[in-house]
Amino acid sequence: MKSWPPFQGFLVLAALALLLIPTIRLTGGRPSSPPAVEFMAPESTDASKIAAHVTLRFAHAPERFTVLERGRPIWTHDIRTDGDAGQTEFDGTIMLRSDGGYADLAVAVVWPPGTPRTVVELDLLPDGAEGATRTAWGESEFTTNFSFPIE
C-alpha cells in the first residue's frame, strides 16, 4: 500500500508544530532587548566626567550585581527587588571619572545556589572613545576588576 503525499506532508507539519510549542515557551515572553536605564554616580568634586554606555551579559541569570568605580558603587541591581528574574543582559548609561585615561571598574556578582561556573561580560562604550569588552569567569559570589582606556 502506497502512502498519499499530502498525508505525508501533513504529518511533517504536525511534527514541526509540536516542536514549536516548547521553543515558544523557552523564548517567548522576554523582551528582545533589555530596557535601557540611566545610572549616575554620586556627584563628586571632580568636574572631569564622561558618560559611558555599559552592557553586562551573563551566561546564567544572577541574583544581584554591583558595578563599582574606584570603590564607589555606580550601578546596583537586585533581581529579587527589581523583578527581572531570568534576565541575562542589562544595559544603561553611567558617568565615569575621566582623569588618568583609564576607567577601573569592579563587578561583584551573586548567582543563585547551584549555578555552575559561569561567565560575565562587560562592554563599555565611553562617549568619544573606542569601546571595549572584558570577560571573566566566576561562580557563587564573585568579584573581578576590569580596566578600560577611556581617552
**Cα–Cα distance between 72 and 3 in angstroms, integer?**
71
Task: Read off the pLDDT of each residue in 10-27 and give the average, rounded to a whole number.
Answer: 78
Q: Which residues of 86-96 are buried (b: 16+ CB within 10 A; e: fewer)?
A: ebbbbbbbbbb
The per-residue pLDDT for range 83-137, each reduced to its tens digit, is: 667 788 888 888 888 777 778 889 999 988 888 998 999 998 888 778 888 899 9
Q: Where are the domains of the chain?
A: 36-149
Contact 56, 120 (CB under 8 A): yes
The per-residue pLDDT for range 53-97, each reduced to its tens digit, is: 999 998 888 888 999 888 889 888 887 777 667 788 888 888 888
User: Strand (E) positions, 22-101?
Assistant: 36-38, 49-58, 64-69, 72-78, 89-97
User: Among 82, 43, 75, 41, which Cα is nearest to 61's?
Assistant: 82
Whether the predicted model's global pTM rises above the 0.85 cut: no
